[in-house]
Amino acid sequence: MTTIRLTAAQAMVRYLAAQYTRIDGRELPLFAGIWAIFGHGNVAGMGEALAESGEALPTFRAHNEQAMALAAIAFAKQSRRRRMMACTSSIGPGATNMVTAAALAHVNRLPVLLIPGDVYASRRPDPVLQQVESFADATVSANDCFRPVSRFFDRITRPEQLLASLPRALDVLTDPAECGPVTLAFCQDVQAEAHDWPESFFSPGLREPRRPRPARSELQAALEALKAAKAPLIIAGGGMLYSGAEGRLARFAAKAGIPVAETQAGKGAMPRDHALAMGAIGVTGTSAANHLARQADCVLAIGTRLQDFTTGSRSLFENPAMRLIGLNVQAFDAGKHGALPLVCDAEEGLAELSAGLAGWSAPVGWSETARAARTAWNAEAAASLAPVAASRPRDPAVIGAVLRQSRKTDVVVCAAGGLPGELHKLWEAGAPGGYHLEYGFSTMGYEIAGGLGVKMAEPEREVFVMVGDGSYLMMNSELATSVMLGLKLTIVLLDNGGYGCIDRLQRATGSASFNNLLSTARHVTLPAIDFVAHARSLGAKATKVSSLSGLETALKKARRSRQTEVIVIETDPSEGSGIGGHWWDVAVPEVSARPAVKAARKAYDAARKAQKLV
């Protein structure tokens, strides 16, 4: 056996650089690069290995560890999980800064390889700087925080562990069912240790996603349920896009006459002009999709984990005879809510269902009901998106301005707050990948970092980042990174004076406005935040507009620019669009001195009666 002597860090880097994937007939590196913020826990070992690797595994520098991991995750999502990135940090706060990002990737089933530095395996200098000492367990380090939010976790305490750990890590990262974050906590002394590695370990590896086909018994049960349906509905989740099955879905829906609704992750799976495209479903859904969902007697849920925003906290489906079919590559998700499981790849599953339903279609009246509901919704949406003359427009009108200036190939990026709810209902995705929302973990601060990852994945597309002032203030550092890397973003910053979305939710549950808007939080002086000056200080171009027409003019100018642009507009936090949507289970206090809270609790108790717990 031929061997080569390398440090453990050099071996890790060389192995990662040797992994490939095939997309549209082209072989590409599986890892587009690695984000790195160096410290004493990784600068000597991983730092030297990465510097030596050069373009074999490109290294990118960020300003915040959470942000760099969010950018890596967004890259993987925009790449439909076919390509990914790694992130390395130092021990201590550099590592724990990535835990939130790991949780996001875990919830959203997205691949990212996290390589935080760790304590000395030898314990010779124990305790080292930033070491977390447990009085009861000497094996604990700060990196144990990653265990519950990693699909696979290992602590590398010997170089030769990598021979088993790295292949296992890649199996998880590239498996459609297991996919999620992998954490390899890398002891800093081990990074620098040498070992004689088999040269065969670094042979190029080709990783392509599996496409499991459904079991015959599960397929037969699903076909029987669909054929018996008089009012079927499809819910398209993120798994549709990761499978690349959107073309198959459009054809299947048209042939079977089944209307299609979309989750946040699945938005864009159906062409916006498809006759049976009902748009968003659930708490942030269109009136069309939710109207059909309440009547549906059979729901085919494809590639979705059916979280509470999709199901209206289990209250959306009102038909007592409704049968649920869970078509999902992950058995854990396929059987949720008492569904008939159909465990398979979305493309393969739809192909099998289409063949089995040959000659069958939903009643014509049901398809006509769907088209009429969509026509009515289009009128509602158009009214919300229309220009207004208000000096502080509401979110829907701002979305309308951005939408009017968008093109079919553009991408909108957003995350937490009120914007995702309005975007889910109102944004019209021109093409798959044109709608990139992080609403599984609803992570404030994702927007700019996520936009950066999207632009890295598809640099030819124009990327609009829509972000509120609260989220912008939480994390804006990668604005400077976008400038540094020449990755142009157009950022529309909606300044509503605080956490407007949660303020609305607070008031909707009967409480007074408290501690969400800057004006209702404890203060001596309200901060006069100059977002334009701040953005310019980070290297971006920036301007503030006072009207929707001014916003559209600034958007036209930004499209012609080659540099990241920030456009600030003040907005009204008091209300959203008020259209579409469905009830969401937000617990209201049982005891309160406020009459408004008592009334909200009474309404809450009544709404909960519609929940189906099995």
Shared domain check, 184 and 80: yes
pLDDT greater than 90 at residue 1: no
Q: What angle (nearest 5°) sits at the alpha carbon of residue 582, between those of residues 318 and 404?
A: 130
The number of CA neighbours under 13 Å toward the Cβ of 200 is 2
State the pLDDT at residue 391. 86
Per-residue pLDDT, averaged over 435-464, amounts to 97
Decide if 501 is inside a domain. yes
pLDDT at 613 over 90: no
> At 23, which CATH number?
3.40.50.970
> Rounded mean pLDDT of 313-321?
96
Residue 150 and residue 74 in contact, taking contact as beta carbons nearer than 8 Å: no
- Cross-strand partners of 154: 184
Render pLDDT for 203-254 as a digit per residue (tens, 0 to 9): 999 999 999 999 999 999 999 999 999 999 999 999 999 999 999 999 999 9
Whether the pLDDT of residue 583 is over 90: the answer is yes
Q: Is the pLDDT of residue 460 over 80?
A: yes
Provide the domain limits for residue 392: 386-570
Indicate whether 575 belongs to any domain: no
Q: Are 12 and 163 in contact (CB under 8 A)?
A: no
DSSP secondary structure letter of residue 56: G
Q: Are residues 10 and 27 in the same domain?
A: yes
Kindly report the CA angle at 402 between 398 and 403, in degrees rounded to 5? 110
Residue 576 lies in a domain: no
Q: Is the pLDDT of residue 614 over 80?
A: no
Transcribe 247-306 into DSSP letters: HHHHHHHHHHT--EEE-TTTTTSS-TT-TTEEEE-GGG--HHHHHHHHH-SEEEEES---
Is 493 part of any domain?
Answer: yes
Angle (CA) 452-457-461 rounded to 5° is 85
Q: CA 266, 268, 273: angle at the middle one, nearest 5?
A: 135
CA–CA dist 115, 93 (Å, integer): 13
Q: How many domains does the chain have?
A: 4
Residue located via tokens 């632009």: 455
Whether 284 and 264 have beta carbons less than 8 Å apart is answered as yes
Nearest residue to 89 (alpha-carbon basis) of 112, 105, 107, 111? 112
H or E element: which one contains 531?
helix 531-537
* pLDDT tens digits for range 385-430: 999 988 899 999 999 999 999 999 999 999 999 999 999 999 999 9
In this structure, is residue 40 part of a structural domain?
yes
Q: Which of 164, 187, 206 is the last residue of a domain?
A: 206
Gap between the Cα atoms of 203 and 256, Å rounded: 47
Instruction: Indicate if 167 and 261 belong to the same structural domain.
Output: no
Q: How far apart are CA 325 and CA 334, in angstroms?
A: 8
Percent of the chain with pLDDT over 70: 100
Which amino acid, residue 60? F
Examine the pLDDT at 471 and tell me if it is beyond 90: yes
pTM of the model: 0.97
Q: 86-135: per-residue pLDDT in tens?
A: 999 999 999 999 999 999 999 999 999 999 999 999 999 999 999 999 99
Q: Which residue has the tokens 């290297």?
A: 539
Please give the residue that has the higher pLDDT: either 296 or 528.
Answer: 296
Residues 373 and 390 in one domain: no
Asked if residue 395 and residue 371 are part of one domain, the reply reads no
Tell me whether residue 609 is in a domain.
Answer: yes
Last residue of a domain, one of 377, 400, 417: 377
One domain, residues 125 and 21: yes
Mean per-residue pLDDT for 310-332?
Answer: 97
Question: Is 461 in the same domain as 481?
Answer: yes
Residue from 465, 358, 498 nearest 71 by CA: 465
What pairing do the DSSP bridges indicate for beta strands 59-61 and 26-29?
unpaired
Are the C-beta atoms of 494 and 423 separated by less than 8 Å?
no
Using the structure block, give the residue that is written with the tokens 């990693």. 150
- Predicted local confidence at residue 390, as pLDDT: 85
3-state secondary structure of 169: helix
Please check whether residue 285 is in contact with residue 276, taking contact to mean a CB–CB distance below 8 angstroms.
no
What number is the average pLDDT over the span 61-83?
98
Mean pLDDT, rounded, of the chain: 97
Interacting residues of 465 by C-beta distance below 8 A, sequence separation 6+? 412, 413, 414, 447, 448, 450, 451, 489, 490, 491, 492
**pLDDT score of 68 more than 80:** yes
What confidence score (pLDDT) does residue 588 get?
Answer: 96
Radius of gyration of the chain (CA): 25
Question: Quick one: average pLDDT of 319-336?
Answer: 97
DSSP helix/strand/coil, 154: strand
Phi and psi of 384, rounded to 5°?
-70, -35
Q: State percent of the chain over pLDDT 90.
A: 98
Helices vs strands, H then E, count in the chain: 24, 23
Say whether both 163 and 40 belong to one domain: yes
Looking at the domain assignment, is residue 335 inside a domain?
yes
Residue 238 belongs to a domain with what CATH number? 3.40.50.1220
Residue positions counted in the chain: 614
**Residue 19 and residue 83 in one domain:** yes
CA atoms within 13 A on the CB side of 255: 16
In a domain, 249, yes or no: yes
Q: Using an 8 Å Cβ cutoff, are 43 and 34 in contact?
A: no
- Looking at the structure, tell me whether residues 467 and 552 fall in a common domain: yes
Q: Name residue 469's amino acid.
A: D
Q: What's the rounded mean pLDDT across residues 329-344?
A: 97
Supply the DSSP symbol for 513.
Answer: P
Give the Cα separation of 603 and 346 in Å (integer): 39
Q: Where in 79-150 does DSSP place strands (E)?
A: 84-89, 112-118
- Across 145-200, the runs of DSSP E, i.e. the strands, are 152-156, 181-187, 194-198
Q: Are residues 497 and 430 in the same domain?
A: yes
Nearest to 586 by CA among 332, 283, 142: 283
Same domain, yes or no: 489 and 438? yes
> Is residue 66 predicted with pLDDT exceeding 90?
yes
